[in-house]
Structure 1
C-alpha cells in the first residue's frame, strides 16, 4: 500500500479507478476507510484517492508537530498528496465534516490545486445563527471536558446526540466502542486532543472564500439539513450567493447510501 512522505509525517493513501483525481477528505474518524464503498462506486469516473489524515490510523507522525497550526498542516498535507497523485493538475475534492474544514483551508492555501471542491456539512460554529451557535459551541466544548473527566466513550454520547440523526447515532455508538476498527481508540484520543476544540471554531473567512466561489459546491444532506452541521453549508452558500446541494442520507451518507452518494458527487462534479 502506498505511503507518502510529508514534513513530520508519513501519509497512507490508496487510489481506486481511473480518470481525473478526486481526493476524499475524511472527518473526525480521520481514516479513508470510511469512504471504501463510495470510492468503489466513484472508480468508473474518477481516480478516487482515500487517505488517513496525519496522526490517524496508518498515517503516522515522524517528527515534531506544530499543533498550533495543525489545520494549516492538514491542508498542506492534502495539497502535497494531490500534487503527488495528480501530477500537479487541478483536481476534484470531496471533504466532509471536520474534513470539510480542512478542505476549505486547502482551497484558501492552495487554490491552484483544485478544480472543484465539495464541502459537505463542515461543523463551523461561527456560521450558525444566534440561538443555535451558542448552545452548539457549548456542547462541543463540554464534550472535551467530559472526555478529560470520564474518557472518550462517555464524551461521544453527548456529541453524537447533537450531531447525528437517530439512525446514524446507532452507527456512531458502535464506532465509539472502538471494536470495529483496530485504530479506533487512538483515533478518538487524537481527535479529542488536537481537533475538537480547534476545527469547529475556525474563522469563517467569508471574504477569502468569495474569491474562489466558482470552485465551491456546498453540500447539506437530505435527512440532517436541520441539524447544526447540515445548516452550515446552506448558510455559507447564501453568503456567497450560491445554493447548497442536497446529498442522499444524513451526515454519514457516504457510509449508509454509498451508491446514491457517489452518483450525486459524480453528477455535481461534472
Structure 2
C-alpha cells in the first residue's frame, strides 16, 4: 500500500532566479510512493542558463523516489512547480468570452499570445524565465482549450477582431499597457494591436508571421466533420515534424496538452487560419512604427515558408533576428528566447 511521501529535506531549488516571484523557496513535494531511491530531477532542460550563467540543470530538486514514478512524471513535476507560482483564473470579458488566464511575476507587463494551436501551456517555461523581471500574462485563445467563447467570437475572424478581443480581456485585468509577444498567428494579433491600439502597446515581438496560407491547407477549411480525424492526423505531423526541431520538448508538453490540441487543430484550420488573408501590411505604417517592432525568424525553418517576412521587414527598415530554432522557440529554446526578449525590452 502506498504511503504519503515527504522527503527528509523538502525539495529546494538551489539559487535559481527562475523559481517563482521571490526566488528559490523550500516547499514540500506532494508525492505518494512505496519505495525510495535517490534522484535529482532538473527543473529545466540542460540547455537553459540562469542569469549567473550557471546551467539550470544544476538548479534541481533533490528527493528520493522510485524511478518508474519519476520517469513518468518529470514534466508533471515541472508543471506542478510552475503552477505554484502562476495565478490561474477564468475571466469573462464584456464580449462574452470566458478566458482561461495565467499570470506570474512582477514588473512591466508582457503578454504572450498563443499561435495557431491556441493553448498557452506551451509558454510555461518561457513565462517561468521571464517572471523575475516581468508581470507575465498569457491565455488560451477564444474557442481553444479552456477559453470558452460564443460562436460569434469566431465568426468573420480577422486580426483586428482578435486584437479587439484581447484588449477587452486586458481591460478586465487592468493592464493599461504591455509588450506583446506572438509567433505565427499570435504575431498577426500582436501587429493588429499595434495598429489599432497604439497607446496600449509598448512594443511587439513577432516570430515567423504567416503572410499566406501554407501549401494545400486552405482546402481543409470546408471539410465536413467526418474528415476531422484526417485533419487532426495531418496537423499532428505538421506541428511535430515541420514546426518543431526538438521532438522531445514538444512531446514533453504532456498528454493533456496534446489531447486538447486535437480539438484545437480543427478550430485552427476552420476559423483561425483564414485570418491570414485579412492581415494589414501597410509598409509606410510599419516604417513609422519600426522602432517598436522586433522581428525574428527560425534559422532551422525551411526558408521558403516565411521568406515574405524578410522582404516586408527589409522594405520597412526592420532588422530580422535569426534564432536557432523553428516555429516555436518558446518550446525548444525558451532560455535563449527569454534572453532575447529581455534585451529587446531594456
Q: Common fold, TM-score beyond 0.5?
A: yes
d(CA) in 2 for partners of 1:233, 1:101:
12
> 8 Å contact 2:92–2:169 — kept in the other structure?
no
5+ residue gaps, structure 2, are 1-87
TM-score by length of 1: 0.81
Deviation of the 1:225 alpha carbon = 6.5
Contact kept in structure 2, 1:122 and 1:232, CA below 8 Å: no
The 8 Å contact of residues 147 and 155 in structure 1, kept in 2 or not, is answered as no
Alignment of 1:13-24 (within 5 A): 13-24=101-112
Matches within 5 A, 1:243-254: 243-254=319-330
**2:150 maps to 1:73:** no
Structure with greater contact order relative to length (CA < 8 Å, sep ≥ 6): 1
Find the counterpart in structure 2 of residue 218 from structure 1. 295
Q: Deviations over 1:236-259 (max 9, x none)?
A: 221211211223422111101111
Partner residue, 1:46: 134
What SS is found at the alignment partner of 2:269? helix
CA 1:227 to 1:251, structure 2 compared with 1: closer, same or farther past 3 Å? farther
Using the size of structure 2 for normalisation, the TM-score is 0.65
Rate the CA distance shift 1:234–1:84 in 2: closer, same or farther, 3 A: farther
| 1:207 maps to 2:207 | no
1:36 corresponds, among 95, 117, 124, to 124
Q: Is 1:82 matched with 2:170?
A: yes
CA contact (8 A) 2:209 2:309 kept: yes
CA spacing shift, 1:252–1:63, aligned 2, 3 Å: closer
- Superposed displacement of residue 56, structure 1: 0.8
What is the count of residue pairs matched by the alignment? 255
Match status 1:196 vs 2:273? yes
8 Å contact 2:141–2:147 — kept in the other structure?
yes
Match for residue 187 of structure 1? Answer: 264
Moved more, 147-156 or 98-107: 147-156
Deviates more, 1:254-263 or 1:69-78: 69-78
Q: Partners in 2 of 1:194 and 1:63 — Cα distance?
A: 11
Aligned CA distance change for structure 1 residues 149 and 122 (closer, same or farther; 3 Å)? farther
Moved more, 59-68 or 32-41: 59-68
